[in-house]
Amino acid sequence: MKFIKYLLPLVLFFASLSASAQSGEENKKDDEKVEAKELPDGTLYGTDINGELKVISVGDIYADTSAFVGKTVVLKGNMSELCRTGGCWTVISDGTNNIRALTMHKFIMPKEMDITGKVAVVEGVFSIREITEDQAKHFAEEAGTDPNLVVGPQKMYRIMATGIKILK
């Protein structure tokens, strides 16, 4: 009986720690998500775009990728894909070349948004990363495209986005 007398408070203590940790994680996720901000020229997700940085195109980056790796860029282009499961990334395209803008779940965009004809301005750090076939298939599934069309590892040109503004 003494064993139960000491065991019960210990179990309750660990249960309360677990509940506290879980509610802290939920709060953290909620705190990281940023609501859309309506601006005169578009809808902003994340932090505002730095107006002092030169706006470049997908073609500018592809012309000399090494000049942009590791640097903060402001990219403007057509939205060609959007994460349909979480709204956590979009692809900016010039029709030939693509750059994936990842939000890292710091903010999200509406996953049901119609991106047809939408132009976006993205700010963040540019990098190039090799992803596995499984990772590429995962992105295809999130975009609502056929993952069976993905074969082998892929080179991903990406921006770790701090802000994405979808222009009107």
Kind plus residue range of the DSSP H or E element containing 88: none
Do residues 105 and 82 share a domain? yes
* Strand stretches in 26-139, DSSP E: 37-39, 42-46, 55-56, 72-82, 89-93, 98-102, 119-131
How many domains in the chain? 2
Residue 158's domain comprises: 34-167
Do residues 39 and 100 share a domain? yes
What is the Cα–Cα distance from 26 to 125, expressed in whole angstroms? 27
pLDDT, tens digit, 9 for 90 and up, residues 138-158: 999 999 999 999 999 999 999
What is the Cα–Cα distance from 77 to 117, expressed in whole angstroms? 10
0.85 surpassed by pTM: no
Do residues 137 and 94 share a domain? yes
* Positions in the chain short of pLDDT 70: 1-34
